[in-house]
C-alpha cells in the first residue's frame, strides 16, 4: 500500500498516480507494509491537513500576487495617462505659441 503524501489517500501497490489528487506517487507517496497500515489513518490525516494548509497558503500567495499585479497595472495606466496629458498640454501650448506668432506677423 502507498499513502499519498499530498492528500493522504491509500493507493494500491502498483499505482503510479494517486487515485484522489493525481500526484505522482513515486515523488510524494510513502510505501507502507502490512503492519504499518494500522497507524496510517493518523498519518493520512496529518498529511491531508498539511496538504490543505499548503493549498491555503498557495491560494493566499496567488491572491496577493494577483492583487499586486492589478495594482502595478493601475499604476502603469495612471503613469501613461499622466504622460499623455503632459504631451497633449505641451502640444496645445506649442500650437498656441505658433498661432500667436502668426497673428503678430
This model's pTM is above 0.75: no
Alpha-carbon Rg for the chain, nearest whole angstrom, is 31
CA distance 5 to 8: 6
Give the pLDDT confidence of 72-83 residue by residue, as tens digits: 999 999 999 999
How sure is the predictor about 34, in pLDDT bands with cuts at 50, 70 and 90?
low
β-bridge pairing 29-31 and 10-11: unpaired
For residue 14 the three cell numbers come to 502498483
- 23 by DSSP, 3-state: which? coil
Look at 76 and 3; give whichever has higher pLDDT.
Answer: 76
Report phi then psi at 21, rounded to 5. Answer: -110, -10
When pLDDT is averaged across residues 45-59 and rounded to a whole number, the result is 85
Residue 2 has pLDDT above 90, yes or no: no
Indicate whether 41 pLDDT > 70.
Answer: no
Asked if 11 contacts 31 with a C-beta cutoff of 8 angstroms, the reply is no
Amino acid at each position: 500500500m502507498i499513502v499519498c503524501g499530498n492528500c493522504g489517500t491509500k493507493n494500491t501497490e502498483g499505482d503510479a498516480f494517486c487515485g484522489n489528487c493525481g500526484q505522482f506517487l513515486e515523488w510524494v507517496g510513502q510505501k507502507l507494509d502490512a503492519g504499518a497500515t494500522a497507524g496510517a489513518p493518523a498519518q493520512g490525516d496529518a498529511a491531508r491537513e498539511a496538504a490543505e494548509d499548503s493549498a491555503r497558503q498557495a491560494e493566499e500567495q496567488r491572491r496577493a500576487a494577483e492583487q499586486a499585479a492589478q495594482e502595478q497595472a493601475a499604476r502603469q495606466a495612471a503613469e501613461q495617462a499622466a504622460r499623455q496629458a503632459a504631451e497633449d498640454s505641451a502640444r496645445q501650448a506649442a500650437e498656441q505659441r505658433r498661432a500667436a506668432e502668426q497673428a503678430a506677423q
